[in-house]
Structure formats: structure tokens, C-alpha cells
Structure 1
Amino acid sequence: MASRTKTAILVSGMLVSGTINTISKKLQLDCRAAGYFNHTANNTRTVHEFSKPWFQSLLMFLGEFVCFFIFLGVRAHKKRRMIRDGTYVEPAPGEKPAGMVYKPVFHWIFVLPAALDLIGSSVASIGLLFIDASIWQMLRGSLIVFAGLLSICILKRRLYGFHWTGIVLTVIGLAVVGTKSVFSGHLKHSSAEAALGVALVLLGSFISTLQMIVEEIFLKKHGFHPLQTVGMEGFYGTVLMIVIALPVVHFIPGNDLNGSYENQLDALYQLGDNALILVISIVFIFSIALFNYTGLSITRYLTTVHRTLVDALRTAFIWIIDVILFYAAGSQYGEPFNYAWDLIQIDGFALLVIGTLIYNEIMSLKFIPACVPHEEESIEDQEIAAADDSLGNKTEPNSDEEEEVVEDDEDGGDETKKILGD
């Protein structure tokens, strides 16, 4: 267990950086600046909002790529220590010893999860254009629902009663939060736009869950270091954005400047025109890097309880700061406080947190027979089998169930997963 000082630093770092990256993401979308020459306004540079969700995905990948340099530093430090201790052995040709020091740094296996990360994050960012940051963050809680359902369909896992209870509560919480976003009468966007935003965030979460499943199938068995996983996805994501995604969204027709779907020249001109947008971009990049690093460290050195509680606090902080921004910086930024609708949002948020706690077995429902955690269920099965042995009535074990237990044990051995820097 980490020391109290280290724990406090990690928790504070994840909380602050996680709050900053969501707030800065929304704040940047709300900023206004003069962009590229507008062909419909006599080629003058008109002032408009920085509505560039795909460009934001590039910034996100740059933030993840920073983790790659942290990984190189950790790797070099470990290699020097092994050489100093006399434990480093140069591998023979064709030999593939285990350990981060010996594994290749670049690997094509990271391309697929990076592509899914690109699509999922960009779709969710488009949804952020139409809803408040706090709603966006709460809707990202749908990852639990999609992860549970996809683990059944793809990984062939079995969900227990407490899993389904957590999923149902999460779905109800998502419905409550989504209702507030669509029907609260927010001045910035219509109900139809808010509904579209909610749908896009949920779609982005579904794609992000597919990314996690792919990471588990293809990356986990190779034993890559978490920082290498994040860093390499950042590298390949940056390449995919620059070479494919940004040129495509720039040249296909749309409602952005000069008939483009998302004019990237306009984004660069707006960065140069408004120093605030540039500063927010830099802060966003480094907050993504810090959030991933501290999040991975918390998952590795502490427990799921810490991670869940920090995520809940992060969502609350985002909401509070968003409301403060609305009244302190003007209605262009943040979200207003509406007593009736915000009470509904609080109820939805509470259901999301409770659903997460139950799904992760932090809140126990063992007093309900159908919701007994699988570890205890396994112990009871063993006791029954032992009793059968003593009576001479031993039954043959179900091979499928044994395989499921082994798979669960393997999955539980490494809780370190990539944190979505959204």
C-alpha cells in the first residue's frame, strides 16, 4: 500500500487533472475568436465559436503521447538499475524474454484501439457541443452498462445479480440525467440538439467500451506496461488524426466555415487569434497526460474503491465549477443553476454512483440471495462439493464453469486499465 503522502498526491492529481480536462474541453468549445477568411463575408475573418471536436481529439492524443515519454524514462531507469545490479542479460537472437525492458517499444497492435479511441472520443466530443460538461461527464458513466453487456456477447462472461442491479440503477440514472438535459429549457441549445448530444455521448461511450474490450483481448496477454499502452495509442492516434481524420473532416462538405465539415485552417487561425484558446489547449494536453498517469497509478497501487470515489468527486467538482463559471465569467461559459432541474440531476447522479459502487462490489448486496458476490458463491459451491465427497456422491465438475472461474481469476490479477481521458 502506498504511503499516505503518495496516496494524497495521486488522488489530488487525478481529481484536479480529471476536472481540468473536462472543464477545459467544454470551455474551449465555448470560446470565440476570429478564424480563417470567410468566403461568405467578403473574405473577412469573422468571429465565431471554436466548434472543433475533431481538433480536440488531436489534442487528446497529444496528451496521451506525453505518457510515452514518461514510459521511456521509466524503462530507461529500470534498465540502468538492472545493469547496476547485474541482473540485465542481453537477449539472444530470437529470444523474447518477459519484462518492459526487453519488449519492443513500437508495436502495430496498438493501431486498432487507437482508431476506436479516435472515433469514440470524437463522437463524444461532438455531443459535448450540445450539452453541459456535468451532464456529459455523468453520461460517460454508461461505460459500465456497455462494458457489462459486451463482456457477455464478446468475452462470454457471466454477470451475477449484483452486476445486473448496478447496470439497472445506472440505466435509470442515465435516463434521469438525460431527461434533465433535454427538457430543462437550457438557453444555449434546443431540446432536439440536447437530445442529439445525449445520443452522441452514449454512442461515443459504446465505441470507447469496444476499445476497452479490444485492449483486453489483444493487449493484456502481451503484458504491455500501462504507460506504454496509453503512450503508443497516443502516438498512433496522433498519426491517424493528422494523416486521415483531420483532412477528411476538412474536405467533406458540412456546416462549418466555407462549407467544410470541420475547417482545420479555421481552428489554427482561431488558436492564433485568441490566446485563451491556445492556453486552454496546452492545459488540456498536459491534464490528459497527468490524468492518465495518476489514474493508472491509483488503479495499480490503491484499490477500485479509491478510483470510484475519485471519479464521483471529479463529476461533482466539474458540476460545481461549471456553475461558478456561468455566474463569474458570463453566460457564454458554464451552466446555470436551476433548483428544480438540478435536484433531478442530483438524483440521477446519485443513482449513477450507487450503480457503480454495486457493480464494482464496493457496496455489498449479499443480504439478497440473488446478489451474492461470485467469490462467496464459489466458496459455497466448494463446501457443497466437499459435503458430497464425504457422502460418496461426488459429482463431475462443469468444465465450462471451471474455465469461467479461471478466466475471472486471470482478469482480476491485473486491474490496471487505460483511463479514458475524456
Structure 2
Amino acid sequence: MAWTHRQIIISIMQVGFGSINTISTKWADEMEAENSAGDSVQFNHPYFQTEGMFVGEILCMIAFYVFRCISRHRRRSQMELSPSDDQSTQFPKRIFMIPACCDALATSTMYMGLVLTYASSFQMLRGAVIVFTGLFSVAFLGRRLRYFQWIGIFVLISGLLVVGVSDFVGENIEGYTTNGIITGDLMIVAAQVITATQMVVEEKFVTKHDVAPLLAVGWEGVMGFTIITILLVPFYWIPGGIFSTNPRGVLEDIPDAFTQIGNNPMLLLPILGNILSISFFNFAGVSVTKELSATTRMVNDSIRTLIIWIFSLLLGWQYFQYLQLLGFLIYSVGVFLYNDVIILPLLRYMGWVNDALPEDTEPVLSSSSSGRVDEEVPGEKVGKDNPNLTVEPM
């Protein structure tokens, strides 16, 4: 069946804005500006950029209410009112507190790691969230993974190990050190443990309520923004050690961030790119899952990873390493196997594999841009009527 123009556009939006998100964040890290001490240094403010990510998520809530108003207006303008398919906005907002805390910690940790390592490695290593989410779903949700999911986990881990090794083969770009790359990579992987915890918590508690995906993203954005804003006060006084390059040597110095932006207004481009890309990526991701399939969304996500790697090479942020390309290919095979898309369906079609899936097959788990997991079924709502589904926050 041929895709419609709308489906093509939203797929391009998902790939494009998802790529822009990581590229813009790394671009800001690479840009230099005079700080409050008068020195020209790179823009190393991960918690400030985390705030921007949450602002982008809040925009998803605004989008939800805008689309809801448009939908209601269209129904009122019809001669015969069609039944409303609006999802309820009445649910306990506290259910997003723990996921928002996990999101804030995971995103800030990943952004700190991104400062120390390459953008392509950052994007690929985020795929570890599938491994941890799968294992946690077995341990805490009582799930049973099928044989191809265990194989997928093994292959995916192998691919990530190859990606990690590729970071230390050959010459490093100026400004990167072996110890820094190791630290950055480990921080990104550790953040996926936190993200996987967030996924399990969301599935156990959030999906009991009928919450629209964009609204769920928005509420996590509101709470995450509030949490980070409160933490920025003590962070202004807590020493940052090796993770701090601001003049005061603290975890985060927001006045210094604004000083650098004022001295180099070009910094506004990647910062705004981070904010807007998060919002549009979430919208496009939800639309792709609804109008096409979770499989299409996952394939688009793999394309996004490849685009980020290519841009990193073109912009001189890293050198070409054949091991990284090999790692990406192995990683993609692992993701496809785990999610039971492309490879196994093709083998079944050719008659090489005969393993009819039972009706209670586990839902698809696929990594998303912000490293989250999407388990939404096309055309279905996230909520108590579909207990196996998880909100698709960015």
C-alpha cells in the first residue's frame, strides 16, 4: 500500500527533527564564547540544555490542547455532530513525578556524557535502553521474552561493544581524550539504566490511566523543568570537579550560560534547535506510530542514527572508523531482531523460520530520540483499556 503525502511528511519529520535534536545539542557543546571570566571556552552547560529539552516537551502539551480545540471546532461546524474521541485530562498528575525525576537525571547525565564523547556514539549507545528495558520488564513486570528477543539483546550488546571500541581506534579529534571518551560513553550507558527504570515505572503506573501521549510528554516536561530549576540553585554552589568548565567550577552556572549566549548570539540557534526539535519529534513520532506502525517508527529511528553519524563526519566532529559502521550494522540487526521486524518477518515469508507468534506476544520496545521506549499500538490509546501500552514521551 502506497504512503500518502501526509505519511511521507511525518516520517521525514521524525527522522529530520530527531537528527536535529542530537546535532543541535552537540553543536552547542562545540561552539565557543567568552564566559563571565573573559575566557573564550566551549559552551559546557548540560543542565541548561536539559532545561531546554523540558521546554520542548512542554510545547507538546500546548500542541495537544491546540489540536483538541481544532477537533472540537470541526465537530461543532458539522451538521451532525460526530462522537467525541477526546481523551480525558482528568488524572492524578503525581503519577508523572517519578518518571520526570528519572527523565531529568537520565537526560542531564547523557548531555554531560555528550560533552566528552562523539555525537554518533552518543546516539548509538542510547540503544542500550532496549537491553535494560527488556531485562527490567522480565524482572519487575513478569514478562517473558521470546527467543528472538534474547538473541536480539545479545546481538545489540555486541554491536554496542564494537561502537565503544571504535572510539579508541585511530586518532582522536582535538579536544577529546581517551579517559574523557570512556567516561562519556559510560555515562550515556548508565543513563539508559535510569531511562529503562522510567519505562518500567510508566508502564506499571501511568498506563492505568487514559492519558494522551502528547499530554503525557507535556506533563513530564512540566515536572522535569520544575525539578531541574529547583536543583539549579544548589548546583550553583556544588563543585563540579572534572565535569565543570565554568569559571566558578560548579555543577552548573546559569548566569555564565547567559553570559556566553550574550557574547555569542549564534548559540541561540542550536539551543532553539534543541527545544523545537524535541517538540516536533515527539509529535511526528506519535503520528508515525498511529498512522503507520511502531515498526516504521523504529526503522526511522535507525535512519536517524545513521544521519547523525554522517553529519558528525562532515562537520569534522570525528574521524571515520570502519568499526563504528560495523557496530552500527550489528546494532541495527539486534534492534530488528528484538522488535521482530524486517529480518524475522522476511525469513518467515520465505519459509526459513516457522514460529507462529502467540496472541500474547510482548509489545514492541524501540528506542526513541530522547532514549525513551515506545510501545504504542497504531490507532490505540495509551491507558487503562490497553494495559500493555506505555506512554510515548520523548
TM-score by length of 1: 0.80
Mapped partners of 1:120, 1:154: distance in 2: 20
Are 2:40 and 1:47 equivalent residues in the alignment? yes
8 Å contact from structure 1 (residues 128, 136) kept in 2: yes
State the distance in 1 between where 2:390 and 2:142 align: 20
Of 239, 244, 251, the residue aligned with 2:226 is 239
Distance 1:366 1:162 in 2: 13
CA contact (8 A) 2:213 2:393 kept: no
Amino acid at match of 2:319: P
Residue aligning to 2:372: none
3-state SS of paired residue (2:319) = coil
Partner of residue 92, structure 1: none
- Describe the superposition over 1:73-100 as per-residue Cα deviations: whole angstroms up to 9, x where unpaired: 12223334455555689xxxxxxxxx64
Work out the CA distance in 2 between the residues paired with 1:321 and 1:62: 25
CA distance in structure 2 between the aligned counterparts of 1:86 and 1:13, rounded to whole angstroms: 32
| 2:158 equivalent to 1:175 | no
From 302, 326, 333, give the equivalent of 1:312: 302
Q: How does 1:4-403 map to 2 (within 5 A)?
A: 4-36=4-36, 38=37, 45-81=38-74, 83=76, 85-86=80-81, 100=86, 102-104=88-90, 107-187=93-173, 188-242=175-229, 244-254=230-240, 255=244, 256-326=246-316, 334-337=317-320, 342-362=321-341, 363-364=343-344, 376=356, 378=358
Residues 175-208 of structure 1, C-alpha deviations (whole Å, 9 max, x = no match)? 0001111344413322111111111000111111
Task: Flag the 1:231–1:2 CA change in 2: closer, same or farther, 3 A.
Answer: farther
Corresponding residue SS for 2:41: strand
Residues 349 and 324 of structure 1: is their aligned pair in 2 closer, same or farther, counting only changes over 3 Å?
same
1:315-353 Cα offsets, whole Å, 9 max, x none, are 111111111111xxxxxxx2223xxxx111111100110
Q: Check the 8 A contact 2:19/2:305 in 1, yes or no.
A: yes
Contact 1:182 1:192 in 2 (8 A): no
Q: Cα distance, 1:3 vs. partner? A: 4.9
Task: Quote how far apart the aligned CAs of 1:147 are.
Answer: 1.1
CA–CA distance in structure 2, aligned partners of residues 316 and 269 of structure 1: 35
The answer on whether the counterparts of 1:31 and 1:50 sit within 8 Å (CA) in structure 2 is yes
Q: What secondary structure sits across from 2:168 in the alignment?
A: helix
SS at match of 2:40: strand
Describe the SS at the equivalent of 2:248.
helix
Cα distance between partner residues in 1 of 2:53 and 2:215 = 16
* 1:111 shift after superposition: 1.8
Contact 1:185–1:191 (Cα < 8 Å) also in 2: no
Shift of 1:406: 9.2
Kept in 1, the 8 Å contact 2:376–2:392? The answer is no
- Alignment check: 8 A CA contact 2:91 2:209 kept: no
Gaps of 5+ in 2: 365-374, 383-388
**Unmatched runs of 5 consecutive residues or more in structure 1:** 39-44, 90-98, 327-333, 380-404
2:371 matched to which residue of 1?
Answer: none
Q: Select the structure of larger CA radius of gyration.
A: 1
- The amino acid across from 1:144 in the alignment is I
The answer (yes or no) to whether the contact 2:88–2:211 under 8 Å persists in 1 is no
Deviations 1:341-370 (A, max 9, x none): x11111110011001111111121669xxx
CA distance in structure 2 between the partners assigned to 1:407 and 1:308 by the alignment = 16
Per the alignment, in what secondary structure is the counterpart of residue 315 of structure 2? helix
- Once the 2 structures are TM-superposed, how far is the Cα of residue 120 of structure 1 from its aligned partner? 0.6
Aligned position for 1:42:
none
Q: Summarize deviations over 1:279-299 as a string: whole Å, max 9, x none.
A: 211121111111110011111
Distance, in Å, in 2 between the alignment partners of 1:88 and 1:79 is 10
Identity %: 31
Note the C-alpha offset of 1:106: 7.5
- Does structure 2 retain, via aligned residues, the 8 Å contact 1:162–1:358? yes
SS of residue matched to 1:48: strand
* Contact 1:178–1:198 (Cα < 8 Å) also in 2: yes
Quote the offset at 1:104 in angstroms: 2.5
Provide the aligned length of Structure 1 versus Structure 2.
Answer: 363
TM superposition shift of 1:67: 0.6
Q: Say whether the 8 Å CA contact 1:296–1:418 is kept in structure 2.
A: no
Partners of 2:247 and 2:285 lie apart in 1 by: 38
C-alpha deviation, 1:211, in angstroms: 1.2
Cα distance, 1:221 vs structure 2:
1.9
CA RMSD of aligned residues (A): 2.6
Q: Do the aligned partners of 2:31 and 2:42 also contact (CA within 8 Å) in 1?
A: yes
